[in-house]
Chain A
């Protein structure tokens, strides 16, 4: 089992990599303005709620943000321009998902490092400890046996 760990780790890595490549190559249909507005509303935070997106909230702030998203998209704004419109007002706080790529990559790096460390640790543990039995000489063995037998008696 232990010797398979690095191979399993490498296999997982390959599978994830393949998924990413296939996913980025598959052509997607151009989303409609309503679909883009839905997606943007889902990734923007409702400003007066606790951890809810604009899409999930019925407050008037959320409704107004949704209305502004629709208006901006209808005016020809790109998705990034819509995000920037709200980030300019609220800061990055308004985005539910972090924008920095490092936050997305870090868990995978830590996972791979963890699997690597575990594999390394298991390998070192597997190495047999040299000569502890030989160190017990005949005299000691005799004494030990005597003591054990006296305990049994």
Chain B
């Protein structure tokens, strides 16, 4: 009985303590997206330039959906050149679609004026319904959709050149690279 009581410490207490400590290092919002390997949400919105754009216009091409905001500092500022560079090297072959997350169009425009406008489209998601369809918890968050319209990857937090290249490789056929 006495040894049994001492066994309680390694058998019960230690694993539970370990399990609880595991949680400290993780952001609870960083859960796996249920959208992965599923068809991407469809949308039809207006861009910052006032043009109509819908997911149907992108059919047959892989694309990147990047939720951002001018108030998302420094993360959105940090990843901004990464997105611009990707747009520069892939152009219309892999459209990048920015989506304003709880951001006034004027503020977003000021951000682009300040940090550089690479020229890809930014959607005004006024009600935030596209962010909800994508299950976004806060910017920056980026989704990678392949040519079949299936979500292949999600980046939670800012993109780096390395993560961008790795995710783009997931959505482009080997011959295209």
Interface residues of A (CB under 8 A from B): 47-48, 59-61, 64-65, 67-68, 86-91, 93-94
* B136 adjacent to chain A (CB < 8 Å): yes
10 more contacts with CB within 8 A, not counting A47-B135, A90-B31, A93-B29, are: A47-B132, A60-B127, A65-B132, A89-B34, A89-B134, A90-B135, A91-B31, A91-B33, A91-B135, A93-B31
> Would B34 and A67 count as touching, CB distance under 8 A?
no
For the complex of A and B, list the 7 residue pairs with the smallest distance between their C-beta atoms, beginning with the closest.
A89-B135, A90-B135, A64-B128, A91-B34, A93-B31, A47-B137, A64-B127
The verdict on B176 contacting chain A, using a C-beta distance below 8 Å, is no
**A59 to chain B: which residues have CB within 8 Å?**
102
Interface residues of B in 21-36 (CB under 8 A from A): 28-29, 31-35
The reply to whether B129 and A48 contact each other, CB–CB distance below 8 Å, is no
Can you offer 28 A-B residue contacts whose CB atoms are under 8 A?
A47-B29, A47-B136, A47-B138, A48-B102, A48-B138, A60-B102, A60-B127, A61-B102, A64-B127, A64-B128, A64-B129, A64-B132, A67-B127, A68-B129, A86-B132, A87-B34, A88-B34, A89-B34, A89-B132, A89-B135, A90-B34, A90-B137, A91-B31, A91-B33, A91-B135, A93-B28, A93-B29, A93-B31
Contacts of A87 in B (CB 8 A): 34
For the complex, give the distance between the alpha carbons of A61 and B129 in Å: 8
Closest to B41 in A: A89
For the complex, count residues of B whose C-beta is within 8 A of A: 19
Q: Determine if B94 is an interface residue (Cβ-Cβ < 8 Å).
A: no
**Residue interface bits B108-135, CB-to-A below 8 A is 1, else 0:** 0000000000000000000111011111
- Given the known interface contacts A64-B129, A68-B132, the answer about A48 and B35 at a Cβ–Cβ threshold of 8 Å is no
Interface of B is mostly: loop
CB-CB < 8 A to A61: which residues of B?
Answer: 102, 128, 131-132
Residue of B nearest to A51 (CB): B28
Assembled-state Cα–Cα distance A64/B127 (Å): 6
Question: Across the two chains, which residue of chain A brings its CB closest to B128?
Answer: A64
Chain A contacts for B135, CB-based, 8 A:
47, 89-91, 94
Closest-CB distance, A119 to chain B (whole angstroms): 16
Provide the B59-80 mask, 1 if CB < 8 A to any CB of A, else 0: 0000000000000000000000
| Nearest opposing residue in chain A for B137, CB measure | A47
Q: Which of B35, B134, B136, B137 has the most CB of A within 10 A?
A: B137
- Determine the chain B residues whose CB is within 8 A of the CB of A89 once the complex forms: 34-35, 132-135
Chain B's nearest CB lies how many Å from the CB of A121? 10
Return the chain A residue nearest B131 by Cβ: A61
Give the complex CA separation of A90 and B138 in angstroms.
12
CA distance A91 to B154 in the complex (A): 14
Interface flags, B4-33, vs A, CB<8A=1, else 0: 000000000000000000000000110111
Which residues of the other chain, B, contact A68 by a CB distance below 8 angstroms? 129, 132
